Structure 1
């Protein structure tokens, strides 16, 4: 039977066969984990581990197909770095600078010292490996942490804001570290002293910064403006991906790494009005390729070796999660957070992070440590990320217990929400207005006069710029994208108004809204009477019909004229 299966699969390209198996496995394992209310991230690792240890790789092309998957996964890292640069905000950093630089600096410093000291005592690697290991285990998973806070409805809490601030510092740190990483890895070619290599790195980095500045200031905005005027969705997405890949490729050519180039590409458009539209377009692609990345990490894990090393893996996971939680809780308390919020921040950042895995994977070929050490760190990092959501849930009753015991109430930390991005992120009980034409503008002004917070979703770049200058919370985004509704904080909104006259667009938006918020009131607009019932069937609470309103107005005006 196995022989027949081998013959059958020989006619299928190995990469396609492995991709099909991976994606099917990810779906099945993730469905099971979601039913158990666990993180899907763990499902990606589990799927990779099962495939790597089932013997299927040998049948499907072995190491060649695995290598191709790893190359595709690297594109996922590029997109991750691009979205990281895109979501990075100097304005947000300004309002969180104390927590970010003081809190993040102390966290990275203390965690790095502890890991480096343990690595030195145990002689697990050279000093180069010790530095990389210290950085890798000091990083936290921004995605898992913030998603866990959101699932618990605590994304606006001081603990979550502290976690966000530290995560911003970690992101800045890892970008700089990636730039200097080549100095810590074995150097190919003739031996050179460290200073000439450092000087060459600084020159290449300076040239890249100048080139990126020119692209960000003139080229990319001009290009996106030109593409936006065409109102072609596919061309916009292709342009965004092209800019990302081009700058990443340039960074790679200069020896700075693809990751750094992709981050700079994201940073180039992070303060533009196109940010939210780009996020909506790029996020699905990023999620797909990052799934491949996490599965490819799982492919590197050997169950037999992990089973043999279960004691050091368990000890490392327990010790570094506990140490990070204690250190971050201590730092947060020193910065003025109450005990419960400091504890939530500590637990939220106690796991390893995506960049921990990226570092371990990128330095694997350098053989800075033994295979057993590599396996121990990989499994411990993956295990910590899988445990985080459950630990954060446990942190709530633990924090309440500490408060009842009277431990460290402290002053609540206030966060300035002065930036426009901060105001959007903290919106609650607001109205979402899709479209800012004559109808949307009048509705927006009426709601603001009534004291209701509003958020406008608009695809006209000039209108978005105008609203942005006026301080109106606005997203340059497409109402037909699911990611757009996540950005609008739909779960915290009170009403949605679809002011577009196009019933097709409104129908697509309604299906997304009802999938995320079945209970919210939705006011829709229809140009023709035939579309009214269709929109009501899709879930519109009320539908305003242009034809009916125009007819009523004409009749009213005619009666007034006849009466005169």
Structure 2
């Protein structure tokens, strides 16, 4: 009987969702709104003949929809595009998220909501909807416009910052408060985890996926990819982070494979089915009476979203050097909230820290702003022309002069080449240090799980810790050597640039040499502190550690060429993954 009720509930959800989305498609409105309305129709707060027997089962299926939705967003996320989005997207995204987070919090406090409710409201309002924006720009045939490319860059950075926000909100919800030091520590741990996951994942996962794609049918590839997705989500949840983070990260990693187009094609139908259930489940949580009761807050929040995002995004893009017309078009294109807002709202409910009214308010605001999005995009160009004609000529002259000045201070020629070299060396040092820390963290995790508590040691934990630390150090040697070499090259370049030949006279060469040595020594000192702090579980006593370090130095000297070759192969593998040629059907966000 239970199985029959499940089939009946699933059939009800899919039939009502299908009917409403056909209607919305005919009306040329986003089908997401149709899914949400379908949820309201079959939800427990609507007195109708259509109802769901087991809401918990539908919500469990909606969790799968959330995972697959974020996995698909990760597939469309491109690390190469992240490197190319430029300063305008970064400045605009940071301005938007910080100011909207503050604005949402202040609105919540104005209505006397709790601090946690206000904070979650600010987080919901700070992230725009990738799905809705892509749909609107595609319908209006504007995807290849210059302002649309800036929007894509902002959406990429927003997706990353949304994951950071969710991790911080989880920490705040679990402790009830998060001091500045704890916040920095949480962000640091999350950044380290994401960096290590990306680097290690990029070395392995794309090659495995491409091999499976070459030798297998679509159904086998689908099962393998979904196995990777759910397996990584399980790992992330055991590390104390949300499955949403895991789904997005593994999607970004799989998205760097050359078979990503094929994966998107075969995952698409599964994602569409379960994401439909996800949005229907969102609608089921909406009580129409609550919407009527909170009509005034919904109105205020909607106005805040539209005006706040237009102003903050336009300001950020303009400050970064874009002209006023482009800045306004970007701001009006981002004036809505969507899927990440729903995920953040679901997080608050699952953690039992937000009030019941917050979720339907967020959904109602999303529905209204989603409906307004295409009209705002259409109105952006006429509005920019109207403002250009109506604003005082002196003010428009100042704006134009600022834009020209920002364009003139960018690096060009030899300066651009030098900055590119410095950035590359800095990234190489950081990535190799992250890999070293990752190896020690993995060994510390295995030690805590008892993998080094062998019978031969007779319960002597000191020996077990020493063995775990020694293995971690041995595995890390290629990355340590690489970090030192890159830091040494960076030090030499910085010394050459920062100390002109006229400084120091005959001692100029010695001064440069001293500065050049300080950079790699500082990098090694930072690495040692990170390892000591984050892998303290397996840190042996000082005397033992000193002996092991000396042994490591001797091994490094003896095996220098071998270690350099090993790292060169790892680096080449990572570069091949990131610099691969895009498929013929060029990736759009």
Unaligned stretches of 5+ residues in structure 2 = 411-572
Query: Is residue 314 of structure 1 aligned with residue 299 of structure 2?
Result: yes
Shift of 1:82: 1.8
- Matching residue of 2:89: 100
Question: How many residue pairs are counted as aligned between the two chains?
Answer: 413
Correspondences of 1:185-204 after superposition (within 5 Å): 185-186=173-174
Give the structure with the larger helix fraction. 2
Regions of 4+ moved over 4 Å: 56-59, 191-213, 403-415, 471-474
Tell me, yes or no, if the aligned pair for 1:340 and 1:399 is still in contact at 8 Å: yes
Query: Is residue 89 of structure 1 aligned with residue 60 of structure 2?
Result: no
1:16-70 CA distances to partner (integer Å, 9 max, x unpaired)? 2222222222222222222222221211111111221433599541xxx221111
SS in 2 for 1:186: helix
CA distance in 2, matches of 1:116, 1:142: 23
Query: Is residue 268 of structure 1 aligned with residue 268 of structure 2?
Result: no
Equivalent of 2:47 in 47, 55, 64: 55
Shift of 1:246: 1.0
CA distance in 2, matches of 1:150, 1:51: 31
CA distance in 2, matches of 1:73, 1:115: 27
- Matching residue of 1:184: 172
Equivalent of 1:257 in 242, 245, 256: 242
- Matching residue of 2:133: 145
Shift of 1:99: 1.8
Correspondences of 1:404-443 after superposition (within 5 Å): 405=390, 408=396, 410=400
CA distance in 2, matches of 1:210, 1:385: 36
SS in 2 for 1:155: coil
Query: Is residue 350 of structure 1 aligned with residue 335 of structure 2?
Result: yes
- Matching residue of 1:129: 117
Tell me, yes or no, if the aligned pair for 2:258 and 2:582 is still in contact at 8 Å: no
CA distance in 1, matches of 2:134, 2:121: 24
Correspondences of 1:361-510 after superposition (within 5 Å): 361-403=346-388, 405=390, 408=396, 410=400, 475=583
Shift of 1:375: 3.1
CA distance in 1, matches of 2:308, 2:6: 41
- Matching residue of 2:530: none
1:508-558 CA distances to partner (integer Å, 9 max, x unpaired)? xxxxxxxxxxxxxxxxxxxxxxxxxxxxxxxxxxxxxxxxxxxxxxxxxxx
- CA 146–488 in structure 1, closer or farther in 2 if over 3 Å, else same: closer
- CA 92–125 in structure 1, closer or farther in 2 if over 3 Å, else same: same
SS in 2 for 1:13: helix
- Matching residue of 1:227: 212
- Matching residue of 2:263: 278
- CA 473–255 in structure 1, closer or farther in 2 if over 3 Å, else same: closer
SS in 1 for 2:357: helix
- CA 118–304 in structure 1, closer or farther in 2 if over 3 Å, else same: closer
When normalised by structure 2's length, the TM-score is 0.62
Query: Is residue 339 of structure 1 aligned with residue 324 of structure 2?
Result: yes
1:119-152 CA distances to partner (integer Å, 9 max, x unpaired)? 23333122x3333221211111011112211211
Tell me, yes or no, if the aligned pair for 1:132 and 1:359 is still in contact at 8 Å: yes
Shift of 1:231: 4.1
- CA 50–199 in structure 1, closer or farther in 2 if over 3 Å, else same: same
- CA 210–112 in structure 1, closer or farther in 2 if over 3 Å, else same: closer
Shift of 1:369: 4.2
SS in 1 for 2:286: coil
- CA 211–356 in structure 1, closer or farther in 2 if over 3 Å, else same: closer
- CA 85–55 in structure 1, closer or farther in 2 if over 3 Å, else same: same
CA distance in 2, matches of 1:256, 1:342: 35
- CA 199–287 in structure 1, closer or farther in 2 if over 3 Å, else same: same
Tell me, yes or no, if the aligned pair for 2:213 and 2:221 is still in contact at 8 Å: yes
SS in 2 for 1:180: helix
Tell me, yes or no, if the aligned pair for 1:116 and 1:130 is still in contact at 8 Å: yes
Shift of 1:164: 1.4
- CA 247–224 in structure 1, closer or farther in 2 if over 3 Å, else same: same
Tell me, yes or no, if the aligned pair for 2:310 and 2:335 is still in contact at 8 Å: yes
Tell me, yes or no, if the aligned pair for 1:45 and 1:298 is still in contact at 8 Å: yes
- Matching residue of 1:163: 151
- CA 142–201 in structure 1, closer or farther in 2 if over 3 Å, else same: closer
Query: Is residue 217 of structure 1 aligned with residue 194 of structure 2?
Result: no
Larger mean Cα displacement after TM superposition, 353-362 or 260-269 = 260-269
CA distance in 2, matches of 1:303, 1:185: 28
CA distance in 2, matches of 1:200, 1:104: 21
- Matching residue of 2:109: 120
Correspondences of 1:529-540 after superposition (within 5 Å): none
CA distance in 2, matches of 1:367, 1:57: 31
RCO (CA 8 Å, sep 6+): is it higher in 1 or 2? 2
Larger mean Cα displacement after TM superposition, 200-209 or 144-153 = 200-209
Shift of 1:13: 2.4
- CA 258–369 in structure 1, closer or farther in 2 if over 3 Å, else same: closer
Unaligned stretches of 5+ residues in structure 1 = 1-9, 416-464, 477-483, 490-564
